[in-house]
Amino acid sequence: MASLNAGLLDREIVLQTATSEQSDSGEPIVTWGSDETIWAQWFSKGTTEAWRAQQRLEGVIEGVFRIYWRDDIAPDVTRIVFDGKTFDVRPPVEIGRQEGLDIPVTALAV
């Protein structure tokens, strides 16, 4: 079973939360705010290349951030900024009994 070791949480990441408002025309406007800096451990799954709709080759970074437990991480309203890249969050996996979270993420390697 995986566990958290505070000494291994050596990366500062920024959690951003989405808020949605409506424009004057009624269209939803999503803004990212509520920046919170926390410590995490990084597990790289690697960098891959993928064909996109424009048939251009783009690099994709995949990995997992391990953090202390919190209950406000949700893929549709949370993203992570680390090392100048914005990572999309996938559903987190609980470690132990609310000891921590493994958060799978992906980002374009631009």
pLDDT score, position 16 = 95
Q: Residue 63 — pLDDT band, cuts 50, 70, 90?
A: very high
The strand pairing partners of 94, in sequence order, are: 101
Percentages of the chain per state (helix, strand, coil), in multiples of 5: 5, 65, 35
If DSSP codes are grouped into helix, strand and coil, which group holds residue 54?
A: coil
C-alpha–C-alpha distance, residues 12 and 103, integer Å: 14
The domains located in the chain, with CATH, are 8-108 (2.40.10.270)
The pLDDT of 67-95, averaged and rounded, is 93
pTM of the predicted model as reported, rounded to 2 decimal places? 0.81
pLDDT digits (tens, 9 = 90+) for 33-48: 878 999 999 999 865 6
